[in-house]
Amino acid sequence: MRNIGKLVLITSLMLSPNLFADDKPGDNVAPVAVSKPDDSDALKGVEKGKVIFDINMASAEKMTLYLMVIRETVDDLKRQGVEPDVILAFRGMSVKLISRDREDMELTDYEHLDKIATQLADLQKEGVRMEACSVATRLFNVDNGTLLDGIKPVGNTFVSLTGYQAQGYANIPIY
């Protein structure tokens, strides 16, 4: 019986030509075209993607991640033949992340704040509208005049969210 086990092992090794080769994994593998999954079931009959992102967070690093995903969402809608109609509504502590005034911000956040400004400018070029809650700017001592370019102060984001939902916008919370 032992000899049969050795014979199976030796045969297996002999039939594995790449086992002792110097090739790196994947060297002999042909590239495969992988298509990105789509959202055809959800988007059936949809011509315009009306969405408002309800953004309320204090972390600059986390904000950069979510803005990247929002950009991908805009691009995915376009790729799938849906016209994006996207609004970013900033409220709570997030208003501090969209201000040019960095006096109260940590130095370690500056790199992320720069990236946020760039990401927002790029999203605006794609037609994304942006607003900031004046209740939040008042509560967190952010002068509306220091908001990044293209961000419109509104009276109360809760009222704004209510209105946009009544107009058929999907509300996506980002916390």
The 10s digit of each residue's pLDDT in 33-58 is 678 899 999 999 999 999 999 999 99
The stretches of the chain forming alpha helices (DSSP H) are: 2-14, 40-43, 60-79, 110-125, 134-139, 157-166
Signed CA dihedral, 53, 56, 59, 60: sign only: positive
- Which residue pairs, CB below 8 angstroms and at least 24 apart, start in 108-111? 109/60, 109/61
Residue 158 lies in a domain: yes
Token pair belonging to 76 = 């995915």
Q: Could you read off the pLDDT of 79-121 as tens digits, one per residue?
A: 999 999 999 999 999 999 999 998 888 888 899 999 999 999 9
Token pair belonging to 12 = 């297996």
Nearest alpha-carbon partner for 144 in 160, 129, 155: 155
Please say if the pLDDT value at position 2 is more than 70. no
Please say if the pLDDT value at position 26 is more than 90. no
Rounded mean pLDDT, 137-151: 97
CATH number of the domain that 78 lies in?
3.40.1260.10
Token pair belonging to 149 = 């370019």
For residues 167 and 50, the answer to whether their CB atoms sit within 8 Å is yes
Cβ-in-10-Å burial (0-12, 13-18, 19+) of 5 comes to exposed
Residue 22 lies in a domain: no
Token pair belonging to 101 = 């005034």
Cα separation, 7 vs 14, whole angstroms: 11
Residue 81 lies in a domain: yes
Could you list the residue range(s) of the whole structural domain that residue 137 is in? 51-174
Which residues on adjacent β-strands are paired with residue 53? 88, 172
Q: How many domains does the chain have?
A: 1
Residue 27 lies in a domain: no
Residue 152 lies in a domain: yes
